[in-house]
Amino acid sequence: MNDLEEYFIENTGKLIHKWQHYFEVYDLHFSRFRGREVTVVEFGVFQGGSLQMWKHYFGPQAKIYGIDIDPRCKKLEEDQIEIFIGDQEDRNFLRSLPEKIGKIDILIEDGGHRMTQQIATFEELYHHVDPCGLYLCEDLLTSYSKEYGGGYLHPGSFIEYSKKLIDSLHAWHSEDKSQLDVTPFTRSAHSLHFYESILVIEKRPIEQPFHAMTGGLTIPDFYDPQ
């Protein structure tokens, strides 16, 4: 059991609602930021419990921001925690956030869970996450729900949208640049980690991949690059 899961189980503070298996994923990707000056942004304040959890986990140098459409969430602010009220589907609102927040190290998308919201948030804020930061979208299960604008293989679901990111990750090797070319995403995404209902994108500045060989041939003509 990691520290986040232990905090969740023993929580007597504000209400937290999370799938149990998320805590392993969180700790795996978040642990390197602990004890540092880190800015964490979470969409979906709910009762404020997860914001308190991040504050406890990352430590006294962390700045935690919550984003929610419900104006009542504003009263959940406390030391190290600031909350902005706005519509996640409003791209103008999303575009206003980086100026207010500054550098974002970790963005956790746990907001309204509709396909339009998940896609809009990614498109407007991914490139505002620090070049060595993390973008995490959770509750991807809604991609399979018509209620949220999804459905299995629905072209508008975030799952189908994120499958295209796999292609973008490999765009260096595309033979048809008119269909698939290198983009800012290709140059900024080190890896995509898919878990049950979670996508974590690890950012890192990426140069064009290259390969090399070392050592010598033992068997003549054994190696055929074709």
If you search the block for the tokens 């899961």, which residue do you land on?
5
- 8 Å CB contact between 109 and 118: yes
Residue 87, C-beta contacts closer than 8 angstroms, at least 6 positions apart: 69, 93
State yes or no: is 113 an active-site residue.
Answer: yes
Angle at the Cα of 134 from the Cα atoms of 154 and 121, rounded to 5 degrees: 45
Q: Residue 143 in 3-state DSSP? A: helix
**Structure-block tokens of residue 94:** 């999303």
User: What whole-number distance in Å separates Cα of residue 45 and Cα of residue 74?
Assistant: 9
The two beta strands, 189-195 and 198-203, are antiparallel
User: What whole-number distance in Å separates Cα of residue 101 and Cα of residue 125?
Assistant: 12
Q: Among 17, 21, 56, 113, which one carries the catalytic annotation? A: 113
Q: How many CB atoms lie within 10 A of CB 167?
A: 12
- 8 Å CB contact between 105 and 177: no
Identify the CA nearest to 45 among candidates 21, 65, 24.
65
- 8 Å CB contact between 68 and 2: no
Which residues are designated catalytic?
A: 113
